[in-house]
Structure 1
Amino acid sequence: MHNPRKTLKKEKILTGDRATGQLHLGHYVGSLLQRVKLQHDHEQTILVADLQGLTDNGFNPHKVSSSILNVVADYLAVGIDPQKTTICLQSAIPALSELTMYYSNLVSVARLQRNPTVKSEISAKSFGSSIPAGFLTYPISQAADITAFRATLIPVGEDQLPMIEQTNEIVRKLNHIAQDDILVECRPLLSKVPRLPSSDGKNKMSKSMGNSILLSASEKDISKAVRSMYTDPNHLRIEDPGQISGNVVFTYLDAFHPDSVYVDELKGRYQNGGLGDITIKKILEECLQDILNPIRERRKIFMSDKAQLIDVLRVGSQKSQEESSQVLNNVKCAFGLNLISG
């Protein structure tokens, strides 16, 4: 008997990370766990974005090049399967750079400067008037990545929604020029997990700020990070009522502890008085050790065989180049630049 479910085409997902350092707990809860689940029911591509990593590290390229295999090892260690997910390297797919060049002629500098995500990141990085051109055109590069793989579903946080909007603007402009739907629009798959704060609660957990708990963190590193976590400065004695809002330890317990009912009980005890900071930090540390210890050990195994990691990238990049070349050819035809193609 015919089963219509077997004939349904899997939706295409594109996601990825800039190669600017090892991945951390923020990536784990914010995107990596979701990717592990999505790979079973979707056609998923993960892009190691080394070119985009250079947009604010052009004068420190070693930071990018030394991070590439570390990022791939992080992927494999958390359970991303290269047999189910295509893992590729941005710089190994020439079509992405060429598409970026074509698309850049459809976007004004003023439009790029109005992009809220770009404005926010420019401010955070204190570029002033010395904004690298590559950084300003970051949204165009992302549009090239998304459209090259014909991705229709893009996992993002709310802060990245302007990037999706700008990608779809480019898609509509190119389709208008071609008088055909040669590119497809995409939609966001919003993360339900808020950005994880750093241990001091003042900033988001960030690779660039060095305030993150890496997936490769040792037991001592984890213990030190948890001990330094911000709680409630007015919770001086165990019997004092404590505040949950802004308490980083409870933010992490909400994100990582497998028993939400138990965490709710802890919150009640803490708010009513009778539960100390040392106790809740101990509970959180045990939770994080349970999560990260096996990831760290698997990661060590993968990093000990770098040839395997390179092979994962090579196979995924070759597959991605074949697919993206088809899109590139269609775009060149739309611009009438296919005179000697093929």
Structure 2
Amino acid sequence: MDSIDLEVLKSCEQWISRGSRCELVTVIKTWGSSPRPEGAMLAICDDGTVVGSVSGGCIEDDLIDRVRKNGITRTMPEIVTYGITADEAHRFGLPCGGTIQLAIEPLSQESGIAELLQRLTGHQLVARRLDLRTGMVTLGPASSGMSLQVSETTLTTIHGPRWRLLIIGAGQLSRFLAQIAVGMDYHVTVCDPREEYREGWQVAGVEVVHAMPDDLVLEMQLDSRSAVIALTHDPKLDDLALMEALRSDAFYVGAIGSRVNNARRRERLLQFDVTEAQLTNLHGPIGMYIGSKTPSEIAISILAEMTAVKNGVALLDAARIENAKIANRQAATDPSCES
């Protein structure tokens, strides 16, 4: 599963290679409410085919309609603004009078899309700089803290996995977790020193590593854009890795297991000189309560919680696995709940 941005770039490369005219559309600024964030991309081919999204659909419809009526005629990048007036906001489906500004760039072999994809295949974080006056493109390395920048002359967009996820354990749940996380634009690494688990385990775009998890945690030098999820149920593999992860700047550290096992794990980690303050950053039982039963549902539950933490959203106690299960059991045994 590719991320949306990767699908957009791959479509552009295919259209360019077959000689079709196409444009890359990038959200560069929004005011008020907007369905898509800055940096969101859309690609449109001269036959009206569209991949990606820059709005809830109405702006896409306008772009498609213009291409079908007039073809792709731009030869240089252009900045276009939608929704300046209330009538336009209503016409283009922008909520609450929102306004969105787009950079529309005609693509060619000189646009560097093929080279950009090659770098992304190597898990590089890339800054793509577009000269808005000439259409010239240059590619260079980017740091994890960089974001989209636009001036009167240059548009700089950042491409590649700006977030990292280390999954400890190559099991069935790990497979679903990795597949979804790749689609969310994470650089996913799965670590499992057990050959019997690694054999035959493969997800496109995911690196599988044979190493002791705690060694890999140290080697990765986890930063504030890194997450660690332990799924082996084996304290020999999980605990030391969790210890090192909790001492790092990782924004999310979680481990699968029941309430009882989670309590025991916390006791063991305290014996490893993990501080009480560090231990408060351990998520477990892991995930957001959605009544999940199957591996795929559990993966969604875990990533929902991880996404909330990444976005700075405080979860209600009722949404946490431990509290929700206790509440459900109490409701099931409470006579007052019977009809």
TM-score > 0.5 by shorter chain: no
Query: Which is richer in helix?
Result: 1
Structure with bigger gyration radius:
2
TM-score bracket for the superposition, by shorter chain length: under 0.3
Query: Which is richer in strand?
Result: 2
